[in-house]
Structure 1
Amino acid sequence: MILKLQEDLNAPQLQQLELLRDAIKQIGKVCIAYSGGVDSSLIAAIAKEQLGTNALAVTGVSDSLAPHLRKEAQQQAAWIGIKHTECITNELESPDYNQNPVDRCFACKQELHTHLANIASNFKESQVIDGVNFDDLGDHRPGIQAARLAGVRSPLAELKIRKSTIRDISKALGFPWWDKPSQPCLASRFPYGESISSLRLAQVAKGEQWLIDHGFSEVRVRIQGLGARIELPVDRINDLLIKLRREELITYFLSIGFTSISVDLEGLISGKLNRELSHKQTSYKDEA
């Protein structure tokens, strides 16, 4: 299978696409940490193109993965034609995860890559690769460190390929999900230090699914104690407040266990909870 360009790319983007193809081809046999996001889906598609049956996509499944994202990952893998499997991860059993410290993602990825290492060993002694891109290296991402310690490679980051280019390449190759919103795991909706449980993750998943079903494809339901704070893109806030029946929303969110519901007027900002880290660091400096 050779992926055909359906739209034009500029010269630097074409060069990065060819470098990505060459890099994955040189690895030879790969096991992909595959979430179904735009990044890991591009890696999976290029791996299928270049390596055929020597490429395997693996999705880690736990309560922190929204059910609709699991289904989308399955559908996209089938569309690509890559061999796909799932593994059950148990990060919720570890206090390094469920107590939600600032390096929670380290524990999560450590658990995932323990499973992937075993799967990769049994799949032709393959190399584990992931969809971490160059932009990810500039954010608070303890999970990247866990992946590095496990020997995982990140072709997109290695080639300095940014998110915008990944979307452009995906669109040019005709992938229907090229503009799919970024969807971090459900645990990212909890402020650091707020404990995480299967029950509370299910609340978040149900709340977000309800909003998705009512036309809001890009949404976060943030945990605030026992309450829910809804984040939407700024240009969709009025749609929520004016077009959606307020009583219906309140009734549903109360029914799934939230005690209050609010809307964040600043809008959806990925990684917003990481602001707490900079505020704490500033506070420590002031106290010193």
Structure 2
Amino acid sequence: MPDADTSDDSAPPFAEKTAAARASLRERDGALVAFSGGVDSAVVAALAHDALGDDAVACTAKSETLPAEELEDARRVAEEIGIRHEVVEFSELDNPDFVENDGDRCYHCRTMRLGRMYDAARERGIETVCDGTNASDPGEGHRPGLRAVEELEVLSPLLAHDISKEEVREIADEYGLSVAEKPSMACLSSRIPTGLEVTEERLSRVEKAERAVRQWGFSQFRVRDHDGLARIEIAREELETALDPDFVVAVRERLSDLGFDHVTLDLHGYQTGSVSPAAEADAADAASDEPLVEDVFASDYPTK
């Protein structure tokens, strides 16, 4: 997408911000974009590729918390953009603080992930690491990962130029990116309630459970792992389909085969952050010694 003439009344309202973001990237000798393949990092990658050409690299960190389908999506979207795409590997499970899964799990994860990005950048002679944090992110509840972005001095072009999530999707649409309307996708560890250890076994069964749900055509959903109890959250507009008897029987049997003792459908529908520390605070006040599975029945799930 070429720089828009911001004096043109027909230019989209975000055109000036987009042009400014590209201009700031042109001042860099090169940039490595922490690239998940979601809409935010895809737009940053497209802007960097426009600004820097072959001196821009999209880099995806492969680990146990990244679903295989997301890695394939990242490869495909990088090809759409035309940017060079590379994959590096690391394991959050090497960090005991991450495995413990306290309220700062996302901070530990983001610190490791971005640290690996800086290693990859240095190996390629690149000084700048970018990420897809947008202007809407800081106001979306408990986001400890943003602290890692600040501490490591990662460049966030969308945030720096006040580009909101809604504008990100519009920019992606201008670029013709297939992920313009893709729902947000947090890493697999976000399906495990705070305080319950993150293990490879739990991550694997969540990934397989969500693959089973996805095969029924659902687009916005999560399978939360409450230590053997699977709580399926599905977007409210899709809840009616989730009550189809054939789906109920099939998903119960499949998730039972994966090792879940109980399979439930959350009638609140899909809500981000429903196993975050904020979501569990009310339950902890009421019964601090109760098992984690009791959080399934909390009356309110804050969003983030």
**What is the TM-score normalised by the length of structure 1?**
0.91
Q: Which amino acid aligns with 1:72?
A: D
Alignment of 1:238-253 (within 5 A): 238-242=240-244, 244-253=246-255
Q: Percent identity?
A: 31
Q: CA deviation at 1:279?
A: 3.3
Distance change in 2, residues 1:121/1:233 (3 Å): same
**1:279 lines up with 2:279 in the alignment:** no
Q: Is the 8 A contact 1:9 1:169 kept in 2?
A: no
* CA–CA distance in structure 2, aligned partners of residues 130 and 26 of structure 1: 17
Deviation at 1:276, TM superposition (A): 2.6
Residue 250 of structure 1 deviates from its aligned partner by 1.0
The 2-side partners of 1:10 and 1:244 are apart by 49
Greater shift, 144-153 or 249-258, is seen at 144-153
Instruction: Give the number of aligned pairs.
Output: 281
Shift of 1:272: 2.2
Structure 2: distance between partners of 1:59 and 1:102: 25
Counterpart mapping for 1:259-270 below 5 A: 259-270=261-272
The equivalent of 1:121 in structure 2 is 122
Give the 3-state SS of the residue equivalent to 1:178 in structure 2.
Answer: coil
- State whether residues 132 and 158 of structure 2, in contact with CA within 8 Å, keep that contact through their aligned partners in structure 1: yes
Name the SS of the counterpart of 1:134 in structure 2.
Answer: coil
Letter of the 1:100 counterpart:
N
- Indicate whether 1:57 and 2:58 are aligned: yes
Task: Tell me the equivalent position of 1:167.
Answer: 169
Q: CA deviation at 1:2?
A: 4.6
Q: Which aligned pairs between 1:12-91 and structure 2 lie closer than 5 A?
A: 12-91=13-92
| TM superposition shift of 1:123 | 1.9
Q: Letter of the 1:47 partner, please give it.
A: A
The answer (yes or no) to whether the contact 1:204–1:222 under 8 Å persists in 2 is yes
- The answer as to whether partners of 2:37 and 2:70 remain within 8 angstroms in 1 is yes
Q: Residues 208 and 106 (structure 1 numbering): CA distance in 2 closer, same or farther, change over 3 Å?
A: same
Aligned partner of 2:302 in structure 1 is none
One-letter amino acid of the counterpart of residue 203, structure 2: L
One-letter amino acid of the counterpart of residue 101, structure 1: D
1:27 Cα shift? 2.6
CA contact (8 A) 1:38 1:178 kept: yes
Report the Cα distance in structure 1 between the residues aligned to 2:284 and 2:227, rounded to whole angstroms.
23
Paired with 1:228 and 1:282, the residues of 2 have a C-alpha distance of 24
2:108 corresponds to 1:107: yes
CA–CA separation in structure 1 for the residues paired with 2:52 and 2:128:
12
Match for residue 255 of structure 1?
A: 257
Secondary structure (helix, strand or coil) at the match of 2:51 reads helix
Q: CA deviation at 1:151?
A: 2.0
Q: Deviations over 1:239-270 (max 9, x none)?
A: 01126432221110100111111011111111
Q: Give 4+ residue runs of structure 1 displaced > 3 Å after superposition.
A: 1-4, 8-11, 277-283
Shift of 1:280: 7.5
Aligned-partner Cα distance in 2 for 1:279–1:245: 32
Q: Is the contact between residue 29 and residue 126 of structure 2 (CA under 8 Å) also seen in structure 1?
A: no
Partner of 1:216: 218
Distance in 1 (CA, whole Å) between partners of 2:3 and 2:64 is 34
- Aligned twin of 1:227: 229
Partner residue of 1:178? 180
Give the root-mean-square deviation of aligned CA atoms: 2.2
| Offset of residue 155 of structure 1 | 0.9
- Which region of structure 1 is more displaced relative to structure 2, 171-180 or 36-45? 171-180
User: Secondary structure of the equivalent of 1:273?
Assistant: coil
CA distance, structure 2, for counterparts of residue 237 and residue 276 of structure 1: 22
8 Å Cα contact 2:3/2:19 also seen in 1 = no
Unmatched 5+ stretches in structure 1:
284-288
Is this contact kept in 2: 1:133–1:156, CA < 8 A?
yes
Give yes or no for contact 1:9–1:168 (8 Å, CA) kept in 2. no
Are positions 1:196 and 2:198 aligned together?
yes
How big is each residue's C-alpha offset from its partner over 1:76-111, in whole Å with a ceiling of 9 and x where there is no partner?
Answer: 111111111111112112111011010011111111
Which whole-Å CA distance do the structure 1 matches of 2:224 and 2:10 have between them?
Answer: 37
> What residue ranges of structure 2 are gaps of 5+ in the alignment?
287-304
Q: TM-score, normalised by structure 2?
A: 0.87
Deviation at 1:11, TM superposition (A): 4.3
The answer to which of 235-244 and 273-282 deviates more is 273-282
Give, in angstroms, the shift of residue 173 of structure 1.
2.1
